[in-house]
A and B are shown apart, each in its own frame.
Chain A
Amino acid sequence: MSKYFLNRFISMIFVLLAAIILVFTLMEFSPGDPVRLMMGEGATEMELAALREKLGLERSYFERLGSFIWGMVHGNLGESYRSSIPVFDEIISRYPITLKLTFGSVLLGIIIGVPVGIISATKQYSIFDRIFTGISLFGVSAPSFWIAMLLVLIFSVKLGWFPPTGTYSFEYWVLPVATMGLQTSASIMRMTRSSILEVVRQDYIRTARAKGQSEQKIIWKHILPNALIPILTTIGINICSFLGGSVLVETVFAMPGIGKYILDCVNFKDYPCVLGGIVWISLNCVVVTFIIDMLYAVVDPRIKSAYVSKKTQVSKPTQAESGERSQNA
């Protein structure tokens, strides 16, 4: 296990570092002088130079990149140009909203998606299967902002059950979590179904049936554990993209989450905040990927065994490799 752990950990650090360099370099090429934007048109050259000096913009690209990474290790993601508040503090104050939204909706997605996927796959081509594959295809085809607005229209405007915007108490969370949860469940259901259908055709399932094992046992003991990896991947991708802030749902429900924060930063051309925010999202993402990779090893012992002895080499799927379907929108 430890060798596998180490391998994935090093790969996590590498991907994070590469992401930071990528984001930092891209930001270098952004048009417009941030200092001039901050000071306005009336500022003199002297004032601009002084501010540049203060912000450390006079230094070379590598010096600034180095100091950014050094600062990041110490929990410092830079200061916002707009408000002079540390980006890290701004993010942390919004993080609980994003976390609640993420885990609420992913949990809902798992609770609905996995069982429906299992039933659909085990009763392939039944009425149940046809209805739910239809609904789930609709779920992955519809824009999340549209579903959000439809839910607001039905449950808030027409029925008046839940408030349309805000984050004050439990009722306020129902519609946003439902929006994201339903879409997550659609993608999890599709992946569960196709993954189980893949496993059902294997010889060892036929053997289990031939032995006369009960259908329940076959599903829970033989099919599900073997079908779990792509499902885990889908869950990982969803958590990862939600932790990055669900700009759309946050916009519709007026929730001050991380997605909305970064969008505002982009609109104000507040570069440290864009940089800090995106690096924070990448950090979250690599950590989630790492955890999912660890779960792979728990679910499928072959994965970690590949790192134990060279004789029993088996291909080792990483999170990204075993699931190609990204659920971004």
Chain B
Amino acid sequence: MKINKTKRQNSHMQEIWRKLKINKVAMASLIVIIIILFVAAFGTYLAPYHFAEQNYDKVLQYPNKIHLFGTDNFGRDIFSRILYGCKYTVFIGFGATILAAAFGIVLGLLAAYYKKLDNLIMRIMDVFIGMPGMTLLILIIAVLGTDIKIMVLAIAISYTPTFARVTRGAALSVINQEYIEACVAIGANSWRILFKHVLPNSLAPVIVQFTLTAGLSILLGASLSFVGMGVQQPIPEWGLMVSDGRSYLRSDWYMSIIPGLAIILVTTALNYIGDGIRDALDPRLNK
């Protein structure tokens, strides 16, 4: 007897992935991000020179065969510094975003599920959103001090409200579904309902927000280092490298322009992926 197997339907996430695969730009961006993550992990071994290795015979050399991106005012190889610096950018961008997402998801779920907490949580988030991002960061850093970990925490705090809001919005529509009612009916506890049932089903917009926020966090981190409130010398953070090159803009433009391009490469790729996932999520763009 032949068993009639019904074809298993693709899950929501598989469906998104299927649509995302068609988007060539998003796929190229994904490859860029994978390479960036690889460089962040192994940049130390890939770099031809040490990031702090000074060579006063070779200061301010234009990009050439030995020094691909040239050398800076201390004769340090810019290419090696960019490879080294990659891990800081990844740490700031993804570290802050993971933290912000973690805080935001918990707050958003609580606000969506417990009506009594909703107003309180969201009004507090409003206060944070009311302040421009850079101002909030400067305030937190003024209080806690300049350090890369504090900077990551500060960036995370400033993006928490966005995640809380996105999660709350997505969760509110899930909570009204019948299967959640069924969970309540069979006596599942609130945490189980929230994290096993509501969260996985409201994750899609959070993922879009994640990629976009990672890009914004990298920009904010670089900006803070640029004004001297983030990563300190001699760490080759890309924003700091752009700042280092400021005095040499007239003669040795590559010193600041090239690290800036590195930042743009990562943020653009993240934004393309974010846009790609958003398009994949849009049922009206069904292909």
Stretch at the interface among A103-111, A259-267, A296-304: A259-267
Task: Tell yes or no: A241 within 8 A of B by CB.
Answer: yes
State the majority secondary structure of interface residues on A. Answer: helix
Which of B9-17, B30-38, B63-71, B209-217 makes up part of the contact surface? B209-217
Residues of A contacting B250 in the complex (Cβ-Cβ under 8 angstroms):
157
A-side contacts of B212, CB under 8 Å: 325
Q: Is the CB of A145 within 8 A of B141?
A: no
Give Cα A244 to B158, complex, Å. Answer: 15
- CB closest chain-A residue, reference B165: A324
Taking CB atoms and an 8 Å cut-off, the chain B residues in 235-279 that contact chain A are 239, 242-243, 246, 249-250, 253, 256-257, 260, 263-264, 267-268, 270-272, 275
Closest chain A CB from B266 CB (angstroms): 9
Question: Is A149 part of the binding interface, using a Cβ–Cβ cutoff of 8 Å?
Answer: yes
**Of A142, A263, A278, the contact of B267 (CB 8 Å cutoff):** A142
CA distance A142 to B246 in the complex (A): 17
* A49 CA / B51 CA spacing, docked (Å): 49
Q: Select from chain A the residue with minimum beta-carbon distance to B213.
A: A326
Cβ of A97 under 8 Å from chain B: no
Chain B positions 85-135 with a Cβ under 8 Å from a chain A Cβ: 123-124, 126-127, 129-135
A244 touches B139 (CB 8 A): no
Binding site for A on B (CB under 8 A): 123-124, 126-127, 129-135, 138-143, 145, 158, 162, 165-166, 209, 212, 215-216, 219-220, 222-223, 226-229, 239, 242-243, 246, 249-250, 253, 256-257, 260, 263-264, 267-268, 270-272, 275, 284
Residues of B within 8 A of A269 (CB): 142
List the 8 closest A-B pairs by CB distance, nearest first. Answer: A328-B133, A329-B219, A146-B260, A244-B132, A241-B132, A141-B267, A141-B268, A266-B142
Question: Do B249 and A149 have beta carbons less than 8 Å apart?
Answer: yes
Contact (Cβ within 8 A) A143 B223:
yes
Q: Are B223 and A263 in contact (CB-based, < 8 A)?
A: no
Judge whether B226 and A143 touch: CB under 8 Å.
yes
Binds B, one of A25-33, A75-83, A169-177: A25-33
Interface assignment of A251: CB less than 8 Å from any CB of chain B:
yes
CA–CA, A9 and B184, complex, Å? 40
Task: Please give, as numbers and ranges, the residues of chain B lying within 8 Å of A138 by CB-CB distance.
Answer: 264, 268
With contacts A142-B264, A252-B246, A282-B130 known, is A266 near B219, CB below 8 A? no
Pick from B130, B162, B263, B270: contact of A286, CB under 8 Å = B130
Q: How far apart are the CA atoms of A23 and B140 in the complex, in Å?
A: 9
What A residues does B242 contact at CB under 8 A? 143, 145-146, 149
B226 touches A251 (CB 8 A): yes
Chain A nearest CB, measured from B139 CB (Å): 6
Whether A244 pairs with B134 at a CB distance below 8 angstroms is: yes
- Residues on B with C-beta less than 8 A from A267 are 228
Q: Knowing A143-B263, A325-B212 touch, does A289 contact B246 (C-beta < 8 A)? A: no
Asked whether B216 lies within 8 Å of A19 as measured between CB atoms, the reply is: no
Interface size counted on chain A using CB atoms at 8 A: 55
Asked whether A141 lies within 8 Å of B145 as measured between CB atoms, the reply is no
In the bound complex, CA of A149 to CA of B175 (Å): 49
Q: Is A291 an interface residue when CB atoms closer than 8 A count as contact?
A: no
Instruction: With A140-B271, A143-B223 given, name 19 new contacts (CB 8 A).
Output: A15-B127, A19-B131, A26-B139, A26-B140, A27-B143, A29-B143, A142-B263, A144-B223, A146-B257, A146-B264, A149-B257, A244-B131, A245-B134, A262-B135, A266-B142, A289-B130, A328-B134, A328-B220, A329-B223
A274 to B142, CA, bound (A): 8
Given contacts A241-B133, A263-B229, contact A143 B222 (CB under 8 A): yes
Report if A235 contacts B (CB, 8 A).
no
The answer to whether A278 and B226 have CB atoms under 8 Å apart is: no
Partner of B268, one of A137, A153, A325: A137
Write the A136-162 contact mask toward B (1 if CB under 8 angstroms, else 0).
Answer: 011011111110011011000100000
Q: A241-B132, A278-B135 are in contact. Are A15 and B126 (CB under 8 A)?
A: yes
Tell me if B260 and A143 are in contact (CB < 8 A): yes
Which residues of the other chain, A, contact B228 by a CB distance below 8 angstroms?
267
The answer to whether A282 touches B131, judged by C-beta atoms less than 8 angstroms apart, is yes
Q: Which of A27, A247, A286 has the most CB of B within 10 A?
A: A247
Q: Mark A83-126, 1 if CB is under 8 A from B, else 0.
A: 00000000000000000000000000000000000000000000
Complex-state Cα separation, A245 to B133, whole angstroms: 11
Contact partner of A274 (CB less than 8 A), chosen from B139, B215, B284, is B139
Contact A19 B127 (CB under 8 A): yes
In the complex the two chains form, is B226's CB within 8 Å of A31's CB?
A: no
* Closest B residue, CB atoms, query A270: B142
- A318 vs B208: C-alpha distance when bound (angstroms): 22
**Distance from B203 Cβ to chain A, minimum over Cβ atoms (Å):** 16
Is A218 close to B, CB under 8 A? no
Instruction: With CB as the reference atom, state the residue of chain A lying closest to B166.
Output: A324
CA distance A251 to B134 in the complex (A): 14
CA distance A143 to B142 in the complex (A): 22
User: Distance in Å from the Cβ of A165 to the closest Cβ of chain B?
Assistant: 11
